[in-house]
Amino acid sequence: MKTRTPEEGFSALTDDAERNRLLAEMAEESTDMISRHTPEDWRFIYASPAVTHLLGYRVEEIVGMSAYDLYHPDDVEDFRLRAPTVTYDRGLYTHTYRFRCKDGHYTWLESTSRTIRDPETNEIREILVVSRDATHRIKADKANRRLARVLESTQDLVIFVNLDHTVSHLNEAARRALRLEQTDYSSFDVARFLTERGQELLSGEGFPGARKTGHWRGEVTMCSLDGTRIPVLLELLAHRSLHGDIEYFSIVAHDLTEKKAAEEQLKQYRADIDHASRLVTMGELASSLAHELNQPLSAMVNYLRGIERRFAGHESIAWRDVDVPITRSIRTALRAGEIIHRMMDFTRKQEPVITSLELPELISDMIEFCDSVADRNQVRVIQEVPSETPLVKGDRIQLEQVLLNLIVNAIEASESTDESPKTVRVTVAPHSEDQIRVSVEDQGPGVSEADMSQLFDRFFSTKQSGLGMGLAISRSLVENLGGELWATNLPEGGASFSFTLNIAD
Ligand code: ADP
């Protein structure tokens, strides 16, 4: 083909024969299939070579075949109904349908048809059709429809937001949750569905983050038109055009109401178990404590009897005669009171309060508290705590619970089978720059290899009446405070349970 300058272009052609030649040449080279059909049964009079690529037929094979024989059975009826529009109204007509390829499979075609009439008689001479493969478009349409259905049926709240932060579309779940079923929301700012804190977070972090990286995620609280609060995990996405400009934002918000309620319940449940475990520990210690309380009470009775004896038959009595027994009575009564207070504190149900605590004092209190259990088991509990120990961060009752569990376990493990008395050592040492380590070491049998991996499992116990909760709870209490709790066997025999605590700022 000879090359033409634009001035000699197609539109300038006056020569019919030349124009027809060029049209035929374009048809031959086009990737779209150009075909001509008889008006009655749409028989192929001509098909351009693209037919081979589109449908697998050679040109000679398809010429003479009726298009009706190749339509998908489901599309034939539709086509018959529409054909008159093409035939009689002279209109250009576009149609998407399935057409059978030579190998028997159907492909989607999009065709534009128009009638060619005899200029003299106005009779329809033939129908000219341009067809192209529409498989990709149909697949994309289907995928889009499927996505739209998913979007509408998901339980997550999906919101499309314009660049000025007004809402452009909400899915069904969002309309329902935000109580917008009856409302035209198109001019609403998305901030209207967020609490004040949520608005701050989205404008301060969310939108700038999404503009920068395309994506932002955070936990916020949304609120519906009627004021119901909905805690959500919110994903904010910025959608860009091919040129890179942000066109709009989308929000996918996952409702956390049930998760939050479950977390709250779990927290409550854990607190109940912690409390129950303290009651059990106290129950286990009850007989020893009763003994401990009995001692000061009988001592007081003795002191008071002594005073009574001195008074009997004496009109006047000097202070020096009763000074000692009275002072001792007061001291022992105070000691009994302290024991009772500690028991009450320990078994009381209360929210943890994190404060700065003095470890040496806490440890000696607990060792004293375990005195009677230690005596009964013939165990000596000693502490090796440097005087310059920094304050640690924790809740007093929780730390007492951990120490009590470890000391009582150590005493029980050390229970002398031979007559030699055993020692339990409670030591404190620096662990790292910002943590302190507390260890409780005993001279018992240590922990067998098999037990070592299960020690901290809930309900693992080798004791006849053990609950198996002490170590599991102690570990979770220590971990909640940012520390760790672990067990090792000592080379000289016996076990060592250590935990770390954060030093208070
Ligand atoms: P419980 O004391 O009710 O059995 P714990 O969770 O406190 O529950 O302890 C679980 C198990 O860990 C104990 O039954 C015991 O087998 C083992 N154990 C705990 N402390 C020691 C220790 N100091 N020496 C040897 N074994 C121990």
Q: How far is the CA of 466 from the centre of ligand 1 (A)?
A: 8
**Does 1.25.40 match the CATH number of domain 258-351?**
no
Quick one: pLDDT at residue 7?
Answer: 43
Burial of 343 (0-12, 13-18, 19+ CB in 10 A): middle
CA-nearest residue for atom 12, ligand 1, is: 455
Q: How far is the CA of 455 from the centre of ligand 1 (A)?
A: 7
Pocket test for ligand 1, best of 455, 459, 464 (most atoms within 8 A of CB): 455
Q: Give the number of the atom of ligand 1 that is nearest the alpha carbon of residue 280.
A: 3
Question: ∠ at Cα 55 (51, 60), nearest 5°?
Answer: 50
* pLDDT-derived band at 1, boundaries 50, 70, 90: very low
Q: Give the number of the atom of ligand 1 that is nearest the alpha carbon of residue 451.
A: 16
Quick one: pLDDT at residue 2?
Answer: 45
Q: How far is the CA of 444 from the centre of ligand 1 (A)?
A: 11
Q: How far is the CA of 491 from the centre of ligand 1 (A)?
A: 19
Q: How far is the CA of 418 from the centre of ligand 1 (A)?
A: 21
Q: How far is the CA of 462 from the centre of ligand 1 (A)?
A: 7
Q: What are the tokens at 152? A: 């509408």
Quick one: pLDDT at residue 63?
Answer: 95
Average pLDDT, the chain: 86
Cα separation, 408 vs 370, in Å, equals 7
- One fold for 23-140 and 154-255: yes
Ordered DSSP codes for 41-61: T-BEEEE-THHHHHHS--HHH
Cα separation, 331 vs 286, in Å, equals 22
Quick one: pLDDT at residue 298?
Answer: 79
Q: How far is the CA of 354 from the centre of ligand 1 (A)?
A: 27
Quick one: pLDDT at residue 5?
Answer: 47
CA-nearest residue for atom 8, ligand 1, is: 468
* pLDDT-derived band at 444, boundaries 50, 70, 90: very high
Q: What stretch of H or E contains 377? A: none
Q: Give the number of the atom of ligand 1 that is nearest the alpha carbon of residue 472.
A: 6
Q: What are the tokens at 227? A: 């004021």
| pLDDT exceeds 90 at position 419 | no
Asked if residue 136 lies in contact with residue 148, where contact means CB atoms within 8 angstroms, the answer is no
* Window from 123-137, 174-188, 267-281 with minimum mean pLDDT: 267-281
385 or 326, higher pLDDT: 385
Give the residue among 221, 171, 173 at the shortest CA–CA distance from 195. Answer: 221
| Burial annotation 69-87 (CB, 10 A radius, 16+ → b, else e) | ebbeeeeeeebeeebeebb
Q: How far is the CA of 456 from the centre of ligand 1 (A)?
A: 9
Burial of 481 (0-12, 13-18, 19+ CB in 10 A): buried
* Window from 43-47, 113-117, 207-211, 361-365 with minimum mean pLDDT: 113-117
Q: How far is the CA of 420 from the centre of ligand 1 (A)?
A: 22
Dihedral over Cα of 321, 325, 328, 334: its sign? negative
Which CATH number is associated with domain 352-505? 3.30.565.10
| pLDDT exceeds 70 at position 446 | yes
* pLDDT-derived band at 121, boundaries 50, 70, 90: confident
Pocket test for ligand 1, best of 284, 471, 477 (most atoms within 8 A of CB): 471
Q: How far is the CA of 290 from the centre of ligand 1 (A)?
A: 24
| pLDDT exceeds 90 at position 406 | yes
Q: How far is the CA of 392 from the centre of ligand 1 (A)?
A: 26
Pocket of ligand 1 (CB under 6 A): 405, 409-410, 413, 442, 444, 447, 451, 455, 460-463, 466-472, 495
Q: Give the number of the atom of ligand 1 that is nearest the alpha carbon of residue 444.
A: 24
Q: Give the number of the atom of ligand 1 that is nearest the alpha carbon of residue 469.
A: 6
Close Cβ partners of 229 (under 8 Å, ≥ 6 residues apart): 195, 221, 222, 223
Close Cβ partners of 43 (under 8 Å, ≥ 6 residues apart): 37, 64, 65, 66, 67
Q: Kindly report the number of other CB atoms within 10 A of residue 112's CB atom.
A: 15
DSSP secondary structure code for residue 202 in this structure: I
488 or 289, higher pLDDT: 488
* CA distances (Å), origin 475, targets 11, 184, 305, 319, 395: 88, 54, 49, 55, 14
Asked if residue 168 lies in contact with residue 239, where contact means CB atoms within 8 angstroms, the answer is no
The fourth-level CATH superfamily of domain 23-140 is PAS domain (3.30.450.20)
Pocket test for ligand 1, best of 273, 451, 461 (most atoms within 8 A of CB): 461
Q: Kindly report the number of other CB atoms within 10 A of residue 57's CB atom.
A: 17
In degrees and rounded to multiples of 5, residue 309 shows phi and psi of -60, -45
Q: How far is the CA of 86 from the centre of ligand 1 (A)?
A: 90
Quick one: pLDDT at residue 248?
Answer: 95
Cα separation, 152 vs 171, in Å, equals 5
Cα separation, 190 vs 200, in Å, equals 12
Close Cβ partners of 327 (under 8 Å, ≥ 6 residues apart): none
Q: How far is the CA of 469 from the centre of ligand 1 (A)?
A: 9
Mean pLDDT, residues 112-130 taken together: 86
CA-nearest residue for atom 23, ligand 1, is: 410
CA-nearest residue for atom 18, ligand 1, is: 409
Mean pLDDT, residues 365-373 taken together: 84
Q: Give the number of the atom of ligand 1 that is nearest the alpha carbon of residue 471.
A: 6
| pLDDT exceeds 90 at position 190 | yes
Quick one: pLDDT at residue 10?
Answer: 46
| Per-range mean pLDDT, top range of 17-26, 127-136, 280-289 | 127-136
Q: Give the number of the atom of ligand 1 that is nearest the alpha carbon of residue 468.
A: 8
Distance of CA 442 to the CA centre of its chain: 42
Cα separation, 111 vs 113, in Å, equals 6
438 or 418, higher pLDDT: 438
* CA distances (Å), origin 131, targets 39, 165, 357, 503: 17, 43, 84, 78
Candidate CATH numbers 3.40.50.620, 3.30.450.20, 3.30.160.20, 3.50.50.60; the one for domain 154-255: 3.30.450.20
| Per-range mean pLDDT, top range of 12-16, 92-96, 256-260 | 256-260
| Domain residue extents for the chain | 23-140, 154-255, 258-351, 352-505
CA-nearest residue for atom 13, ligand 1, is: 461
